[in-house]
Structure 1
Amino acid sequence: MKKLLAFIMIMLVLTACDNSILPKSNSINPTKLTEREEVILSNTSDQAFVFDFNVENSYKKVSVWVEKYEFGKLVGKVNDIGTEVNKSGQIILSVSKLNEAALESIFTLTVSSDGGSASGWGPEKMIEMPSVVTGVNQNENISLECNEALASIIYSKQSGISSMSPELYKDVDGQIDEIAQHDVVYLLKAKFD
């Protein structure tokens, strides 16, 4: 009997551990890319961010956009797309230099779900800056209800800048002082309805 109870306890612990690594429903997670996928993305873009989402049937649409801040002031959206979703899918942001001499980049957003996809792109005039730092929200199972930032790109005339703090991704409005320390900050965001 003791062996049976011990076996049941071990199985419960293992089952609980296995469930903890599964994506929660109604969440977004950074995608763990293979080395091959990373090489392909680095060949086609200067920066790329990929996220998986898992939603319940009550969510039918997603809006994805990139906010642009200059010295802490929100100056607009670089790109904004919306599409229907079904249970799971991916969100991808890639940034590619269109013209090195003109300092112009293309921000491309793609949402893929249930075999379909929607994409949008927009050109963005850049100012030459020596420092570029990217970051990704590392929270496990990012909640859909919290309006968290998914990724950031920081451009600065100062060298030696660091990526955004984990608190920024959770509370952009509350961390505006951190954003204000940089020349230009782009934040990827998503909203599910």
Structure 2
Amino acid sequence: MDSLVDFSQPTIYFAVAAIIFNPTFWNTAARAEYHNKTLTKLAGGNALYGCYGLAITIFALGLIRDALYERALRQQPSNDLLLSFVSQGLAAVLVASGNILVLSSMWALGITGTYLGDYFGILMDDMVTGFPFNVTDAPMYYGSAMSFLGTALWYGKPAGILLTALVFVVYKIALTFEDPFTAEIYAKREREQKGLPKKQI
């Protein structure tokens, strides 16, 4: 295993920490906002500014995570099997497809839809059901994981495949918290519009 992944390199642990920290942070911050309006208060009572502030923070943390991932890969051994023509072709397809899923998702949702605006009370009029949400229910997460895997294959790094598996697991865990919570936010709005009793979440 050591010939495939060099666990003596501290950079791999920095990448692991960033991969785990990011979704943990944004879910914790979003819940604090929903229950206590924490970020709205920090933004002077303006929910939109609070959401923009969170968006900038999440985006910056993503750039840091990606830089740590790239640095970790540079210090890891390559494997010739992952540098074959087939592997390189698959890498290009994964990165391209992943970026299409992520960028088209952001385009469809807008800034507030992408960056947890519903936790701030900034709800979309209707659920987005067109592309890429007719391909997968979590295009940003799956697209991001595809890009991580594609990058690992492109540089022939088994460590990158291992880190991608962690990304996938962390995102799946995040979805188990996010999906039902978000669904209940919209269900709550529908109940309020119909004059039905409120339900705490």
TM-score, L = length of structure 2: 0.21
Which one scores higher on RCO, CA 8 angstroms, separation ≥ 6?
2
More helix by share: 2
More strand by share: 1
TM-score, L = length of structure 1: 0.22
